[in-house]
Amino acid sequence: MKEWILVTGGAGYIGTNVVNLLARAGENVIVVDNFSNCVRSHIDTVCKLHKGRVVVKAVDLLDDYEMKKIFEKFHIKTVVHLAGKKYVSESETKRDAYYKNNILATDKLLSLISNYGVGNLVFSSSITVYGNAKTVPVDESAPFQPISYYAETKVEGEKMIKSWTNHTKGAGAGILRLANPVGAGPFMLGDENLSGMKAVVPYLVDCVLDGKSITINGNTHATKDGTAIRDYVHVEDIAASFVAACVLDKNGMEVFNIGRGGEGYSVLDLVKTIEDVIGTPLTVEFGPRRDGDVSVFVANNKKMIKGLQVTPTKDLTEMVKSQYEFSKNLRQEK
């Protein structure tokens, strides 16, 4: 019987890159996405590249009837759960939507997995579950300290999955706690969303391309240049981690930080690299430091490298170059 990997949120930024790698590895993939925050063109590109290997279903995870039909029709061996709302600031003002899409949808998916005997799950979590970690780089043993509702939904998702593995014989789950994804994968598989919200690197690149000045929140951090340091990792390295987690022989639940690690990059590192890549200076101003803003947050990725056998391959210059090419390509298309 033909086996399939189901990827929820597979038409999104990370999802399209994961689906592309899975199909390239010879897997048959079902994409489930409600297209509430992503354009159709990226997953259509992946389908054309891998004719017959990728099936797309425009279905919401909360639609019990349609989801049940998918599990009845396809012999699913693994579920990669990427679907969900992802913006920290938005989560504080739209808690009901984040509860439904991140917590309730995960609960429903776990019920389907249990009912149809799927024993392998890979879940997209976030390093935001650590909050203001006391020790940096932070490793997987650090306690949960979520400081946003988005992070709380990821913590709750992890707890539900832990319960599922504890009560389901032979079940295995890989929890991937992602650092900040950057760049675009092959075939211009980048972060084009419908919300208009942007992560810091695409925002800075767009500022250069549009000739806009930027304001950096705080230059009084106890860092090399006074600006906050974070962990950024190329989306292709993230996708490779998901593919590796699909075939990992998991005993219960295994947790992995997915980041570049090292010393991280400051906001001014981002600015300088973007200026070097594009060849245009950014006009930078400094505003007040945000309350509760952590000076340094970097993930310990040793378990990722050893357990998943995935080592991040792209440095900040390569991340910025791919983001620049993607952003420039979007402008040309429009």
The whole-angstrom separation of Cα 170 and Cα 218 is 49
DSSP letter for 194, please.
S
The helix (H) or strand (E) run that includes residue 242 is: helix 235-247
Question: Known catalytic residue: 116?
Answer: no
Q: Which of 149, 150, 265, 324 is catalytic?
A: 150
Q: Which long-range contacts (CB under 8 A, 24 or more apart) does 92-99 make?
A: 92/148, 92/149, 95/149, 98/149, 98/150, 98/153, 99/153
Residue 272 Cα distances to 47, 262, 265, 279, angstroms: 37, 19, 11, 10
C-beta atoms surrounding 173 within 10 Å: 25
C-beta atoms surrounding 122 within 10 Å: 29
Catalytic residues: 150
